[in-house]
Amino acid sequence: MRVVSGTCKGRVLKAVPGMTTRPTTDKVKEAIFNMIGPYFQGGTALDLFAGSGGLGIEALSRGMDRCIFIDKDKKAIQTIQTNLLSCNLKERAELFRTDAERALRAIVKRGLTFDLILLDPPYKQQILETILSFIEHHHLLNQEGAIVCEHRHDVHLPKEVGILHLKKQEIYGHTAVTIYRTDLNGWRNEIG
């Protein structure tokens, strides 16, 4: 597992020890960022089920200014810290050990919004629709931002969640990537 592109291109990232997390493959990571970027002119990202931090670190490497990493697993938090240090990105990151629901409530209290939200929950806990509804209801995504959902290929997400619109979906083996955006003018709808 490595950083695919940007300022940290080629840096090897450690995986979380054990079998509790499922890191995003480099192939899927590259596909994700080709769909939404591939590079950014600043902005703030949220990596909500961060695991090793690979997606958030990729976003920072490709130009995001800051990223908040959330994971409830102690080993994941330690791995993210190690990966951020090895990529010299610690100063551009916030890291919290908590569950997604509590983290989202804290984000609302802080009045934060994001240009990129990365959602890769455990496949066994398909809670993406609930999280998307929360994000939409509390206006956590900036106008031209994107939400990336990584999930099992056989999970079907809605085309719309309030003002969030499904813009693109690709399948890579057992993994699907679904992109939501709120900007209806700047992006053509690629889902029929």
More confident position, 126 or 7: 7
- List, in order of start, the domains of the chain with CATH numbers: 26-181 (3.40.50.150)
Query: What are 12-31's pLDDT values in tens digits?
Result: 999 998 766 667 888 899 99
Distance between CA atoms of 103 and 6, rounded to whole angstroms? 28
Query: What predicted TM-score, i.e. pTM, was given to this entire model?
Result: 0.92
Distance between CA atoms of 101 and 133, rounded to whole angstroms? 12
Q: Are 68 and 42 in contact (CB under 8 A)?
A: no
Could you count the other beta carbons within 10 Å of the beta carbon of residue 76?
25
Query: What are 38-85's pLDDT values in tens digits?
Result: 999 999 999 999 999 999 999 999 999 999 999 999 999 999 999 999
Q: Are 166 and 160 in contact (CB under 8 A)?
A: yes
More confident position, 183 or 164: 164
Distance between CA atoms of 159 and 161, rounded to whole angstroms? 7
